[in-house]
Amino acid sequence: THFLFHSLQAKMSRPVQARRLEGIDKNIWVEFVKLAATYSKVNLGQGFPDFPAPDFLTEALTRALGGGNHMLHQYTRAFGHPPLVKVLAQFFGKLLGRDLDPMTNVMVTVGAYQALFCCFQALVDEGDEVIIIEPFFDCYEPMVKMAGGTPVFVPLRPNPPKDGKLMSSADWQLDPAELASKFSEKTKAIVLNSPNNPLGKVFSREELGLIAELCVKHDVLCISDEVYEWLVYDGKQHIRIASLQGMWDRTVIIGSAGKTFSATGWKVGWVVGPDRLLQHLRTVHQNSVYHCATIAQEAVAQGFQRELMLYGKPESYFVQLPKELQQKRDWLVQSLDGVGMKPIIPEGTYFLVADISPFKSDVPDVPNSDEPYDSRFAKWMVKNKGLAAIPLSAFYSEAHKNNYPNFIRFCFAKEEATLKAASDILQKWKQEKNSS
Ligand code: PMP
C-alpha cells in the first residue's frame, strides 16, 4: 500500500493546466464585478448602460422571435448571419469608402471580446512582439500571452494642463521617439484602441498618422479596437486608421453591437478587414465558437439597416446616443469637480478617470503592499460608501501598475438618477470629511 500511495501522489502533483495559462489566471472584472454585486448601492464600475436599449432594436428582436421565420431559431452561417454581414459590409464600406465583400471582409463574433481573441490567436505566433499602448483594455495582455506572444508596452504620458484647468484625455500623448523605439523586426502587431478605454482619448489624425507610418515602415499589423466609435464628444471626429495610406491591408477593425446599440448583454461583435487577414480569423472561429446566436444577429442586422437609412440624420441613434452621453459626461464631470475629485475630461467612450487625492486620508496606504493604492481605494470605497468604480492600475501592465496610484475610472453611461445617487454619495463623503 505504501508503494501505491506514493504513485498516486506522484500522479496528483502533475500540473493539470496548460503552460500557456501561467500568469494569466487573475481577472480584474471577475474580482470587481463580484465586489460591486456584494456591496455597491451605485455601480459606476463595469462599462454597461443601465438605461434601456433603443426600442427599434428590442422591437426587432421581438419580431425575430415571434415572426414567421422559425429558422431564426436554428444555426446560421458560421462567419456571420447573411443579413448582418451584408449590412455591415454596406455600412462600413460607406464609412471607409471602399467596396466590401460581406463574405470575406466581415466576420461576426461573440462580442468584440471574441473578435480580439480571434485576432491574437490567428495573427500572433510564439516569440512575436505585440505593442500595446498604456493604459489599455486589460484583456489585450493575457490574450497576447496566451497566443505565445510578448506584449511590449508604450505609455500615453500626461502633460500638465494649463493654468488650473481640468485635464483632458487629449493631454495624454504618445512620445513619438519612444513609440518608434518599440518597433523592431520582432514586432508583429500593434493594438490601437481609439476612442480609448479607460481615458476616453480619441486619437488625432496626426497621432494615427504616426502609428500608420511605423506600421508600414516595419510591416506591422494593426488590431484596431473601435468599439466606442460612435461615442465621441464636442464635435470631435473618430478617424479610422484603416482609411490611412497603406493601412487597409494590414488592419483588422473590431466593433461591438453591445456598445453601438447599448445592449452589451447581446454579445454581438464583428471584425472588418482584408480577406488576407480575415481568412485566418475564420480558421480560429470555426475551430472554437463556430457561430453566434442567430436571433441576436438578425436583430442587430435590422438595427444597422435602420441606421444606414438614417445615416447622419438627427433621428439616427448614432447621432442621438453621443449627444445624450455627452450630457451625462458633463454632469459627472461637474459633480466630481465639485467635490475635488478632479476628472480628466474624456473626448469619447463611456468612461472618465478622476483623481482621488483629496480623499486619500480616509483610506490608509499599506506600504510595500503588492496591491496598488488605487485598487485598495476602490475596494474601500465600494465597501464603505457603496460606490463602485475601477482602479486605473487595472489598465496597466504588472511592471507599471504603480505609475498612477491616484486615479479611478467611472462609467457615466447611466440613468440620471444613478449619476445623481453617485453625486450624493460623494457630496456626503466630502461633508463628513470637512466636519471631522
Ligand atoms: N474592447 C474594449 C475597449 C472594451 O471596452 C470592451 C468592453 N468593455 C470590449 C472590447 C468588449 O466588447 P464586447 O462586450 O462586445 O465583447
Report pLDDT digits (tens) over 359-403: 999 998 888 888 999 999 999 999 999 999 999 999 999 999 999
Of 272, 300, 310, nearest in space to 92 by CA: 272
Give the pLDDT of residue 11.
Answer: 65
> What is the spatial distance between Cα 249 and Cα 226, in angstroms, rounded to a whole number?
17
pTM (predicted TM-score): 0.96
Give the pLDDT of residue 13.
Answer: 79
> What is the spatial distance between Cα 338 and Cα 165, in angstroms, rounded to a whole number?
14
The domain in which residue 60 lies consists of 55-310
| Average pLDDT over every residue of 262-270 | 98
CA 436 centroid distance within chain:
40
* Three-state secondary-structure class, residue 130: strand
Q: Is residue 139 part of a domain?
A: yes
Question: Do 63 and 47 belong to one domain?
Answer: no
**Confidence band for 8, pLDDT divided at 50, 70 and 90:** low
Q: Is residue 5 part of a domain?
A: no
Number of neighbours of residue 4 by Cβ within 10 angstroms? 8
Last residue of a domain, one of 255, 275, 310: 310
Give the pLDDT of residue 5.
Answer: 60
| Cα distances (angstroms) measured from residue 240 to each of 92, 138, 237, 317 | 10, 22, 10, 20
| The one-letter amino acid at 172 | W
Q: Is residue 232 part of a domain?
A: yes
Last residue of a domain, one of 288, 310, 332: 310
For ligand 1, say whether the CB of 200 is within 6 Å of any of its atoms: no
| Average pLDDT over every residue of 258-271 | 98
> What is the spatial distance between Cα 80 and Cα 107, in angstroms, rounded to a whole number?
6
Q: Which atom of ligand 1 is nearest to the CA of 116?
A: 10
Mean pLDDT of the chain: 95
Give the pLDDT of residue 117.
Answer: 98
For ligand 1, say whether the CB of 197 is within 6 Å of any of its atoms: yes
Q: Which atom of ligand 1 is nearest to the CA of 258?
A: 15
**DSSP state string for 210-273:** HHHHHHHHHT-EEEEE-TTTT-B-TT-----GGGSTTTGGGEEEEEEHHHHTT-GGG-EEEEE-
For ligand 1, say whether the CB of 256 is within 6 Å of any of its atoms: yes
Last residue of a domain, one of 310, 325, 347: 310
Tally of structural domains, the chain? 2
Residue 115 has pLDDT above 60, yes or no: yes
270 φ, ψ (degrees, to nearest 5)? -155, 165
Site to substitute for ligand 1 among 107, 119, 140, 259, most atoms within 8 A of C-beta: 259
Residue 61 has pLDDT above 80, yes or no: yes
Give the pLDDT of residue 247.
Answer: 98
The Cα angle at residue 32 between residues 147 and 355, in degrees rounded to 5: 100
**DSSP state string for 274-305:** -HHHHHHHHHHHHTTT----HHHHHHHHHHHH
Residue 3 has pLDDT above 70, yes or no: no
Residue 9 has pLDDT above 80, yes or no: no
Share of the chain above pLDDT 90, in %: 89
Report pLDDT digits (tens) over 66-107: 988 999 999 999 999 999 999 999 999 999 999 999 999 999
Q: Is residue 252 part of a domain?
A: yes
Question: Do 427 and 396 belong to one domain?
Answer: yes
Question: Do 360 and 255 belong to one domain?
Answer: no
